[in-house]
Amino acid sequence: MTTQQEHTQHTEQQDPYAGSRDTTEGQVFTVTGQDWDSVVQGAAEADDERVVVNMGPQHPSTHGVLRLILELDGETVKDMRCGIGYLHTGIEKNMEYRTWTQGVTFCTRMDYLSPFYNEAAYVGAVEKLLGIEDDIPERAKVLRVMMMELNRISSHLVAIATGGMEIGALTVMTIGFREREKTLDLFELITGLRMNHAYIRPGGVSQDLPDGALDAVRDYIVWMRKHLPEYAALCNENPIFKGRLVGNGYLDLTGCMALGASGPVLRATGYPWDLRKTQPYWGYETYDFEVKTWDTSDSYGRFRIRLDEMHESLKIVEQCVERLETPGPVMVADKKIAWPSQLAIGSDGLGNSLDHIKHIMGESMEALIHHFKLVTEGFRVPAGQAYFAVESPRGELACHLVSDGGTRPFRAHFRDPSFVNLQTAAAMCEGAMVADVIVAVASIDPVMGGVDR
């Protein structure tokens, strides 16, 4: 037997999914569908009449490009697998080629429904490595908390709106996006953007509140307190709504703990695990709010938790507004770390005020050199590793950062709650009907930008 034949035979034995053939160009491997083929083959060999179908990745009810491989016996789901990776962006790898501050503009795009939380987890880890956690100005911490809680409201509104749309509750969808628009208007007023803000930065936030922002937030709180009860009136005791959600997607505390679930999926079992209370950060222990739980371990409980959490977030935002009435710095004093944050909008419509440009361009050569090096090269972070977790709308969102002492992350990896919680889908859906899969997945509220990264 020739060496090439031995190699071919060895390869085929090693990988049953990759056959090979010799051509004039060399050896060619043909890789088959792997999980899909094995599932279909298993269904074909079974005695009963089972069928394997693809739900997604292009499907209006899978919350993004999520592929669900369903093995059905009639309309009953016998086996379910999640196929992910269709939205992979390489964000974590790309962050290794950007400065520590530039990394914020990458990670904010992962879970696109809660960008402030992506930024918070990453920046918290950077500040841990720098050892400046106690140096962050109080006003910057309050601004971070306020923006995150506003983001929690906007994210929960999308979860409730899209979940309602998928079971035919179109009014819930239209009013959900109505309130979300109000929230995004606040984001645009304060950060300049509706999403992908890069607002939370190492050392503080990118800029202070513009004129009129606190009044706008106060008006928003009044509006939300008036309109949030509409969701309860439409859904809480609606017999059709409860008929689709109650008892659906059941997963008890044992299952949640075994699969690492967090957020509303975990709290729907009655277990009050919320990092804002259990492992507080950025002064959350000084705010008055409750951790909302439910005791049904089903899709209805997760809906009720999200509804209740929006009221609690409004309470936190209201407390933030009171604290923000006192002015103060929003970035650390260390100029070797801090990007300029007290910027006004210049006549060019960009974020460089004429005063700042005048200083670095006309008054101080040293200031110009420092600004140039800080922006292009970035600051150095001591070698080491850090893990920082926040309580996002979907659960524990954390960042593990490794530094080799340079101006860029050596490694950045995120623990995204959508990725972990999606593992519970099979446990929730196997044995249920096809129609129940849509409700169960909606109750998990996965965002594929966070799953695939």
SS3 43: helix
Cα separation, 214 vs 323, whole angstroms: 11
- Is 419 a member of any domain? yes
7 and 125 in a single domain? The answer is no
Q: Is residue 76 part of a domain?
A: no
> Does 205 lie in the same domain as 128?
yes
Q: Which of 140, 138, 78, 89 is nearest to 112 (CA)?
A: 89
pLDDT value of residue 29 = 59
Report the number of distinct structural domains present in the chain: 2
CA distance 194 to 185: 7
Q: Could you tell me if 405 and 265 lie in one domain?
A: yes
The four Cα atoms 108, 112, 114, 118 give a dihedral, to 10 degrees, of -30
**16 and 95 together in one domain:** no
pLDDT of residue 355: 64
Q: What is the largest CA-CA distance in the chain?
A: 84
Q: What is the predicted pLDDT for the residue at 10? A: 46
pLDDT of residue 325: 87
Residues 18 and 105 in one domain: no
Low pLDDT (below 50) residues in the chain:
1-17, 346
Residues 114, 233 within the same domain: yes
Within a domain: 52:
no
> Same domain, yes or no, for 179 and 292?
yes
Residue 345 lies in a domain: no
User: Is 46 within a domain?
Assistant: no
113 plus 2 within the same structural domain: no
- Domain of 210: which CATH number? 1.10.645.10
- Residue 143 φ then ψ, to 5°: -60, -40
pLDDT at 135 (0 to 100): 87
CA dist., res. 425 & res. 201, Å (int) = 35
Q: Over the stretch 319-354, which tens digit does the pLDDT of each residue have? A: 999 998 888 888 888 777 877 665 555 455 555 556
Structure tokens at 389: 């977790």
The pLDDT value given to residue 59: 76
**Is residue 15 located within the same domain as residue 141?**
no
Measuring CA to CA, how many Å separate 417 from each of 144, 298, 322?
20, 18, 31
> What per-residue confidence (pLDDT) applies to 47?
59
Question: In this predicted structure, what is the pLDDT of residue 146?
Answer: 93
* Co-location of 16 and 154 in the same domain: no
Kindly report, residue by residue over 117-159, the tens digit of the pLDDT.
999 999 999 999 988 888 889 999 999 999 999 999 999 999 9
Is residue 373 in some structural domain?
Answer: no
252-274 b/e (C-beta count within 10 Å ≥ 16 → b): eeebbeebbbbbbbbbbbebebb
- How far apart CA 235 and CA 249 sit, in angstroms, is 18
Residues 6+ apart with CB under 8 A from 170: 164
Alpha-carbon distance 307 to 8, whole Å?
Answer: 59
Asked, for residue 77, whether it belongs to a domain, the answer is no
pLDDT score at 8: 46
CA distance 405 to 380: 6
Structure tokens at 314: 């409004």
Say what the pLDDT of residue 39 is: 61
Same domain? 8 vs 118: no
Residue partners of 387: CB distance under 8 A and separation at least 6 = 125, 398, 399, 400, 401
> Is position 342 within any domain?
no
Give me the pLDDT at residue 219, please.
92
Same-domain status, 322 and 420: yes
Domain span at residue 133?
Answer: 91-337+379-452
Q: How far is CA 332 from the centre of its chain?
A: 26
CA distance 407 to 403: 9
